[in-house]
Every structure is written in C-alpha cells, then in structure tokens.
Amino acid sequence: MAGELTREAFAAASRFGFGVAGEADPADSPGKLIRVLRSAPVVPARLADTLSGPRIQKRWQLRQARQEMGYSRAEKKKKKPPGGKPSRKERRVNYTTDSHNRLLAAVEAPCGFFERLVSFWSNHFTVNRRKNVVKELAGPFEVEAIRPNVTKSFADLLTAAVLHPAMLVYLDQDKSVGASSAIGILRGRGLNENLGREVLELHTVGIQAAYSQDDVTSMAKVLTGWTIDSEQGKSVFDARRAEPGRFTVLGRSVTSAEDERAVDALKALAEHPATARHVARKLLLHFATDDPTDEAIGKLSGVFKESGGNLPEVYLALAEMPEVWSGFGSKARSDFEFVVSALRTAELPPAVTQKTVAGKSHTMPMTIGALADMEQAMWDAPSPAGWSQKAADWLSPVGLTQRLNWISSLVRLVPDDKALGYLDRVLGPLASANTRSVVASASNREEGLALVLASPEFNRR
C-alpha cells in the first residue's frame, strides 16, 4: 500500500498527521484531508472512561465522609481517614493512565490529522497538570471539551474549554468571587483575574489586540459566578458569587443576564477580528512555518471571519495554501509528535507498550516514560501559553540528545517483520538521496532503523 502513495500523500501525512504509518486513508489533496477528518472517531473506546464528573464527585464524597467522622484538618494530616489517604496517589495514577491512553489513542488513530488538531487545541487552551486537582482533570478536559469540538465552531470550542472544570481550577476561577456578590460580602472574598486575563491574552484576541487592564478586570467580573459544584461533579453558575453590574469588554457592553453573560461575552470574543488573526497565526505557526507572514495570517483570518469561525472551513483554507500544502520540512516534530509517529511505525504489541520503566520518581509505562525523558510530559506545558512551536527548540542539542537516546531503546523493541523495508514504509519518496545512502550503509538492522528515525525527514514535517 505504501508503495502506491505519492510523495504528496507522504508529505501531507507528516505535515498534518503522524506520517503514513497507520493512516487508514492517506490524503493526497486538501479536500480529501478534510473529508477524512470529518469522519474521524471523536472519542475512541480507549478514552471512553476518561471523565471528570465521577472523579470530582469521588473527591467530594471522600471529603464528606471525613467530615462526618469528625476529622479536623489537623487530624487529617496525621491520620489516615476512611479509605486511606488515596487522593494524591490516585490522582497521579489517573494522570499516568490518562497520559498513556491519550498517547496510544494517537498511535492507534486512523486519522492522524484529528489527533494533531486535538493536541493543537489542547495546547492553545493549556491546562497544566501540576496543580494537584488538575492532575486527574487534564485528560478528561481534552476528551470532554476539546475532542467533541475540533470540527465544530471556534465559539463552541472556546466556551466548552473555558468553562470546563479543569480550566476553572487551573486558572483559579473556582476561587474568584465578585467582591460585591453575596458571598463576596459575606466572606470578604474577591476577584481573581487569572482566567479573565488568559481568555483575552491566550484564548481569543491575544496581546496584539491591546486590551486594557480594565478589560481584564471586566472579563474577570463577567466570569464571576462560574465555579465547580463538586457534588454534581461539574461546572455551574452560582449567582451568589456573581459580581452585580454591567461590564464592558473591548468596547462591547455585556448586557445579558448574569447566568448568560459569560457565554455571551465568550461568543462575542470569538467573533472579534483580533481573535481570527490570533487563531490564524497559531494555526500557521503550528502546521506550517516558524514565521507566519502577515499575508498568510490575513488570508486565513479572512476565512475564519467569513465562515463565522467554522473550523473545518478554516482547516481547509489552511491546507489549500500552497506554502502550507507543499512546505514539508519547514517545521520540526515536537517530542509528543515524534514519539507517536515512531510508535505508529513500530506497531508494538500491548505487552510491550504497557511495560513499565522507571521514571524520575515513579514507574510508568514506556510510552509515558519516553515523554518524561524528553521532558514533554502530557499536559505539562511550562506556562499557560503552551509549548514552544519553534524547530530550534525541539531540535536543540538537549532535545536531540533525548530523542536519540530514546530511539536507541525503541529500535530494540521493533519486531523483525516490521523492520523489513522500513525506510520505504516510513519515509517513502520523502527520503533524500543522502538519507537513503546513509541508511543503506548501516552496519546492522537496529542501526538502520535508528537512522531512519533520526533522519531529518522523520524529525521534520
């Protein structure tokens, strides 16, 4: 099958997916790329149990149980409450399981482009797992807020992401209370601007829109009321925490009722021209080039605006840009993309992918071990701005060392039958003459496999 594919199909599979390996129907045109995307499985069976509700509720129930038994906070720290002290460990286990499943979901996916988009949006709406509570909510966030909205509208995606429990915790919205709200007055609590700020700076209009501090504060006030109801295990609007009044965000007065104003404000932000530019720029930066041109941004944001943020139309316009479709090699694969792409070529059986390795402080499956060694643990971006997108950062001396070290352990696991014709299967017409000749002169099978995985063509896209 690989032998029949054009260079164009190979290039597109790398540019937009994880390479041709495992791709059920490799696209050789932008139109086909989007058609295949539309029929991609949204939540594979492997991720069906990655849900936030039951986990939030379980923590709530444990807290209730402890309170009923009359445990004070001091006692809690010393003694083991009923059921032991599971929270921290369970959250970590959930996180490790979620990461492992997410990675394998990408390895097993018939449509790589869908998974790439999930990761792109997950990075755009970064939640970081280091906050204890977020550890077991980051995986569900991706499944519940991101995946179902990848092929919908940006407004749908934005609302789902911003109001998901994981985001509300990560950016301290669950602690934000209107200072003049009922609870604000009663308990002397106040506003936390973190989410309001990041909605403007990172999720929608971006820094270039030159919003003011007042806009940030207003947005934070508009969001007040939104918090997590742990007993129900979901995000809710609680009027007692909502700051009364009318607020203006980026020149637009938010006039709807308190329980609707956050969603309305988010929808308005989704329609703001600066948002179109911000998102267009990020899509180009991720998929096409380290330095998007103003012209390209203008063109893509135009489609964004005209389509009302219809994401598949935006993706089509992106893929149709000649420099995007035919620009293979200008970007570098991130560590996550690299690991997924490599594992797709290796077709390792579950017994192998589930095998545990020693991590920095705990054991973990070899899949996650790879990401941990490369310091791109799942949902662990260094700031709300997400991971770097630049080639030089992924292929730095340190980055390359980590990749090469992992390659040398991976190639020992590749079954013999998968090693046959590896170069042709993995790179096909993408392989340069130089790469072909160097791989051909490898002294043994493992070295040959390693050189394919270390090649510029495999590390770039």
Q: Which residues bind other proteins (CB under 8 A)?
A: 172, 175-177, 179, 184, 189-194, 197, 201, 207, 213, 357-361, 369, 372-373, 375, 382-383, 385, 388, 390-402, 404-405, 408-409, 432, 434-435, 438, 441-443, 447, 450-451, 454-456, 459
Residue given tokens 């919908």 in the structure block? 152
Least CB distance to other proteins at residue 358 (A): 5
Please say which residue, 115 or 193, places its beta carbon nearer to other proteins: 193
Least CB distance to other proteins at residue 422 (A): 15
Least CB distance to other proteins at residue 361 (A): 7
Give yes or no for a contact between 262 and 256, defined as CB atoms under 8 angstroms apart. no
Q: DSSP letter string over 278-344?
A: HHHHHHHHHHT-SS--HHHHHHHHHHHHHTTSBHHHHHHHHHHSHHHHT-TTSSB--HHHHHHHHHH
Residue given tokens 């390895």 in the structure block? 107
Please say which residue, 124 or 147, places its beta carbon nearer to other proteins: 124
Task: Read off the DSSP letter of residue 407.
Answer: H
Give yes or no for a contact between 265 and 369, defined as CB atoms under 8 angstroms apart. no
Q: How far apart, in whole angstroms, are the C-alpha atoms of residue 136 and residue 1?
A: 40
Please say which residue, 152 or 189, places its beta carbon nearer to other proteins: 189
Q: How far apart, in whole angstroms, are the C-alpha atoms of residue 459 and residue 342?
A: 10
Residue type, 282: K
Please say which residue, 312 or 359, places its beta carbon nearer to other proteins: 359
Please say which residue, 24 or 404, places its beta carbon nearer to other proteins: 404
Look at the chain and count its residues: 461
- Calculate ∠ Cα 193-194-199, nearest 5°: 100
Q: How far apart, in whole angstroms, are the C-alpha atoms of residue 90 and residue 112?
A: 31
Give yes or no for a contact between 207 and 144, defined as CB atoms under 8 angstroms apart. no
Q: How far apart, in whole angstroms, are the C-alpha atoms of residue 22 and residue 453?
A: 16
Please say which residue, 309 or 428, places its beta carbon nearer to other proteins: 428
Please say which residue, 268 or 357, places its beta carbon nearer to other proteins: 357
3-state secondary structure (DSSP) of residue 74? helix
Distance of CA 354 to the CA centre of its chain: 22
Least CB distance to other proteins at residue 170 (A): 11
Least CB distance to other proteins at residue 112 (A): 23
Q: How far apart, in whole angstroms, are the C-alpha atoms of residue 406 and residue 419?
A: 17
Please say which residue, 258 or 393, places its beta carbon nearer to other proteins: 393
Give yes or no for a contact between 425 and 431, defined as CB atoms under 8 angstroms apart. no
Least CB distance to other proteins at residue 443 (A): 7
Least CB distance to other proteins at residue 141 (A): 20
Q: How far apart, in whole angstroms, are the C-alpha atoms of residue 234 and residue 188?
A: 25
Q: Which residues pair with 253 in a beta bridge?
A: 248
Please say which residue, 52 or 192, places its beta carbon nearer to other proteins: 192
Backbone angles phi, psi at 310, to 5 degrees: -75, 110
Residue type, 248: T
Least CB distance to other proteins at residue 434 (A): 6
Please say which residue, 209 or 265, places its beta carbon nearer to other proteins: 209
Least CB distance to other proteins at residue 28 (A): 26
Least CB distance to other proteins at residue 357 (A): 6
